[in-house]
Structure 1
Amino acid sequence: MGASDPLHLLDPATFGGRVFDNGQWLLPRGGARAVPEPATGAALSSAGIADADDMREAIGRAHAAQPAWAATAPRDRAAVLLRAAQLLQAHFDELALAIARETGGILPKGQHEVKEAIVLCQIAAGLPMQAQGEVLPSTPGRLSIAKRVPHGVVGVISPFNFPLILGIRSVAPALALGNAVVLKPDPRTPVSGGVVMAEVFRRAGLPDGLLQVLPGDAAAGEALVTDARVPMIAFTGSPGVGRRIGALAGQHLKKVSLELGGTNSLVVLDDADLDAAASAVAFGAWFHQGQICMASNRVLVHEAVAEGLKQRLVGKAQHLPVGDGASGRVALGPMIDAKQLQRFDALVHDSVRQGATLEAGGTHEGLCYRPTVLSGVQPGMRAFDEEPFGPLVNLVTFRTDDEAVALANNSQGGLAAAVIGRDVARAMAIGERLNAGMVHINDQTVNDECTNPFGGPGLGGNGSAVGGPADIGEYTRWQWVTVKASLPGFPF
């Protein structure tokens, strides 16, 4: 940080309608697109939209820049990541507000994203200083080493809901371990998911070409996934798009890390403290309007306490304020756009037609959807079978622990699960039987500490995980190296 650093990190006059390529903000062939604020509809900025040719040219520059970066001393790579963390901290308030406005989140959500991005950069800075392999047993006179080496260029495709966290959690470790990165953020959140990282790493001293940031549509994404110069793709998003990316990556023999979604179950046992449980459920289901891959989609509640939990949740739903998240006066902000709201609204009312009871919510003003409670939800209803990605509590009753486990596992997989109850041994026994990548006892499902592996089976992804101890395995590959003092003779 120096006295020459400008007061602000984000200048729309610099990045508006542009993509970040080789250290510069350039006009793409794909044109520009307005980025509206979900809460007001007012234009916040404009996103540069890359087409397939823009993407291929950017990949070429990343591919050319990467070897020198991989050969850079580990502590010098680490220093760039630490400076990036310092820049995020220095511009904390500016970035938190920008994220809240662009994503429709409340201000604490924007602050959370910046806090986690700082930690992710700090953790990534430690990766180059860790052991990158091991010495293997071998015959006398031969040194045998298994070492981790960078993939080369890593393609990162990130979503709209937590765009800074879900982009930088791949960008930072991939860069730290010697890769170049081509990032395609969601065009709805190009600043939170792209501009922030481009500017932070540029000012932190990352050499040109190592981080390319190109918002774009499907054609740009397909160009990234299919280019032979990109041996790894890290994607976070919907199961439908994830299947397409997984298929394309498989055809091109690429490594792929998919973090998708699915249905997440929160089990409330009959010995739970209902006031505490209701608070946990409300946060897990409604935080950031339920637009979280770990949201507590299904609330499986023992029939003996179902009515008490329902009454508490209905009371919360009726009193939580909804509106402009950046105002500091509401608990829930708007959904990201009309398409997302319409899909969610259809899921709620289709489930009512299928037999669920609407206890609270089910209405909206503009993009602001009221926190919603459905009771009587059962398998076969859309609210049970699909990931809502909206502010919805689905109440599903059970009688026995075995029934709760069966209901929770009646899915195609998910990221997170949780169990709430005073008998911790009983809650843990249930948790051990749940088919989820992350299981929390006496908590709700929305949890991440940056130091933990993050992923899940089935619709949760492809079984891989990013974060913490998983990162070296994800963003590098094995290389076997042997050394002999002299060339031996051979019988040919």
Structure 2
Amino acid sequence: MKQTIDALPITNTMTNVLEQLGIKETNPAYSTGLVWGGHNGKQTREIYSPADGNLIAAVTMADAAAYEQVVKQAQEAFTYWRKQPAPKRGEIVRQVGNKLRENKEALGKLVSYEMGKILQEGLGEVQEMIDICDFAVGLSRQLHGLTMHSERPEHRMYEQYHPVGIVGVISAFNFPVAVWSWNAMLAAVCGDVIIWKPSEKTPLTAIACQHIIKEVLAENELPEGIFNLIIGDAEIGSLMAHDKRIPLVSATGSTRMGKKVGEAVGARLGKSLLELGGNNAIIITEHADLEMALRAVVFGAVGTCGQRCTSTRRLIVHENVYEQVKERLLKIYPNLPIGHSLDNTTLVGPMIDKDAVEAFKAALAAVQQEGGNLITGGEVLSGKGYETGTYVTPAIVEAENHFDMVQEETFAPILYLIRYSGDVENAVELQNGVRQGLSSAIFSTNLLETEAFLSHWGSDCGIANVNIGTSGAEIGGAFGGEKETGGGRESGSDAWKVYMRRQTNTINFGRQLPLAQGIKFDIMD
């Protein structure tokens, strides 16, 4: 394992990045697009990089008064924004995409430095934002409804979609900007306005995005309140979830958090879009291309240091190739380059904070107590380059699917190695035998196995891949999962419909008033 690179040039690099992106030593609590406010909030929070422990900047935490100011501005902006033609809204999103292109390197570095994912993943996250902008621009000319034939003569029936209003977006630390863009860019072309509450662990990337948005709004002489940002803790998230003025709340995070948001939004009969936990499995059958499968397994298990909702948690391997797969993994894992997230040679960066490291250690202790066999990794690194206490060696544990810890999602680089025998349906039963249902994958060159995996008695996940890993979804497809993953869908396909309200219209262009189902109700001679 290599040591991290010298922190001094990184510090100099980040100084330039922060200046380019408008990050100050202390940053205000909220923005309504053109105006920043809440400089004198209830408290400030200092943001340290998990990569080297350096202080990046501080943020002011919003209070209820600041929240109220943001909501009122968003309400006012909606009355303007919903009246703009969708292609004109798409033009604004196109310009946002161009600004992101101009700032891709700087924003990618900030994502990497603030969150801890390696630079390639940070740059990839910004590219995902650019891609969703492109998708949304095209979508702005395709917000279509259906026309249906009426059973009544001289009647026409059709459906159309209208903006819902304010969309609240609560995002998680692991994808600090991409998930917001999935929601915000689609909602914007649909005619909605957005209030974004980022994770309090990674607010600086959100502030940087808001500065980019501000440039576009100013250049187009648009009003405040279309794209809003508020920095706060769980109190702000709770206000959003309970607020009847926010018809849709999109929340990404743990299942525990999602249940609270869903309960609060549901109690007021609002709509919630929930992207929650994953306990994703890759099945390797005896007919798999093992070299291709192993590449997918390693990226899925250790990418973002195991802190993706689509991270590979379970590896279900046929008994005929189990030992071969295990042997190869035991050669790969000890040689993974672990180090500073901005070092181009790093493949595994730090975990987000020491609390995450403690959860990692606790999970490994618990699964071993249940009978799991830790065969590699599981250490917390120390010494030069690892002084932050946030670097760990990714772990592999031989385990059984029914173990309590295997049934849980631990947001950490822990891969559970599970053996199966018999046909592929046995493997699918193991894969489906958890409460979560986000992403799944099978590696096999046998058509009968892959088609069974994709059948309606196959994978019960929202994402099911063949000869591709569980991680790394494209924006063109709808993203989301079933069961305790929440059931929501974001990004591509027809996910845009959740940001709009459906309306059925019937037009009578005749001179009679026939009723549906042939009902007779005459009140005149």
Category of TM-score, reference length = shorter chain = over 0.9
Match of 2:87 in 1: 75
Moved more, 64-73 or 12-21: 12-21
2:410 is the counterpart of 1:398: no
2:329 is the counterpart of 1:313: yes
Alignment of 1:2-401 (within 5 A): 9-13=20-24, 16-27=27-38, 29-138=41-150, 139-192=152-205, 194-205=206-217, 207-365=223-381, 366-382=389-405, 384-400=406-422, 401=424
Shift in Å, 1:133: 2.0
Q: Is the 8 A contact 2:162 2:502 kept in 1?
A: yes
Match of 1:466 in 2: 490
Unaligned runs of 5+ in 1: 1-5
Unaligned runs of 5+ in 2: 1-16, 382-388, 514-521
- Partners of 1:175 and 1:14 in 2: how far apart? 31
* Secondary structure in 1 matching 2:484: helix
Change (3 A) 1:161 1:143: same
Moved more, 169-178 or 301-310: 301-310
* Secondary structure in 1 matching 2:494: helix
Say how many residue pairs are matched.
484
Shift in Å, 1:15: 6.9
Shift in Å, 1:226: 1.1
- Partners of 2:302 and 2:111 in 1: how far apart? 18
- Partners of 1:407 and 1:444 in 2: how far apart? 17
Q: Deviations over 1:109-130 (max 9, x none)?
A: 1110111100011111122211
* Secondary structure in 2 matching 1:244: helix
Q: 1:477 aligns with which of 497, 501, 505?
A: 501
2:490 is the counterpart of 1:449: no
Q: Is the 8 A contact 2:87 2:189 kept in 1?
A: no
Residue type of the alignment partner of 2:410: P
- Partners of 2:255 and 2:18 in 1: how far apart? 40
Q: Deviations over 1:84-115 (max 9, x none)?
A: 01000011111111111011011101110111
Residue type of the alignment partner of 2:202: T
Shift in Å, 1:288: 0.6
Shift in Å, 1:369: 0.9
Q: Is the 8 A contact 2:476 2:491 kept in 1?
A: yes
Q: Is the 8 A contact 1:8 1:94 kept in 2?
A: no
Normalising by structure 2, we get a TM-score of 0.88
Q: Is the 8 A contact 2:196 2:229 kept in 1?
A: yes
Match of 1:414 in 2: 437
* Secondary structure in 2 matching 1:330: coil
Moved more, 450-459 or 137-146: 137-146
Match of 2:14 in 1: none
* Secondary structure in 1 matching 2:311: coil
* Secondary structure in 1 matching 2:339: coil
Match of 2:6 in 1: none
Shift in Å, 1:36: 0.6
- Partners of 2:153 and 2:64 in 1: how far apart? 53
- Partners of 1:405 and 1:362 in 2: how far apart? 28
Normalising by structure 1, we get a TM-score of 0.94
Residue type of the alignment partner of 1:395: L
2:464 is the counterpart of 1:439: yes
Q: Is the 8 A contact 2:401 2:430 kept in 1?
A: no
* Secondary structure in 1 matching 2:140: helix
Moved more, 430-439 or 11-20: 11-20
Moved more, 173-182 or 70-79: 70-79
Residue type of the alignment partner of 2:230: L
Residue type of the alignment partner of 2:471: V
Residue type of the alignment partner of 1:73: P
Change (3 A) 1:412 1:114: same
Match of 2:446 in 1: 423
- Partners of 1:48 and 1:7 in 2: how far apart? 17
Q: Is the 8 A contact 2:129 2:178 kept in 1?
A: yes
Shift in Å, 1:230: 0.5
- Partners of 2:416 and 2:170 in 1: how far apart? 30
- Partners of 2:148 and 2:25 in 1: how far apart? 51
Residue type of the alignment partner of 2:157: S
* Secondary structure in 2 matching 1:235: strand
Larger Rg belongs to = 2
Match of 1:3 in 2: none
Q: Is the 8 A contact 2:32 2:226 kept in 1?
A: no
- Partners of 1:132 and 1:47 in 2: how far apart? 41
Q: Is the 8 A contact 2:104 2:126 kept in 1?
A: yes
Q: Is the 8 A contact 1:66 1:153 kept in 2?
A: yes
Moved more, 134-143 or 347-356: 134-143
- Partners of 2:154 and 2:210 in 1: how far apart? 48
RMSD: 2.0
Shift in Å, 1:37: 0.3
Residue type of the alignment partner of 1:76: K
Shift in Å, 1:267: 0.4
Q: Deviations over 1:419-472 (max 9, x none)?
A: 1122133223134311111111111110311010111111121x2312212332
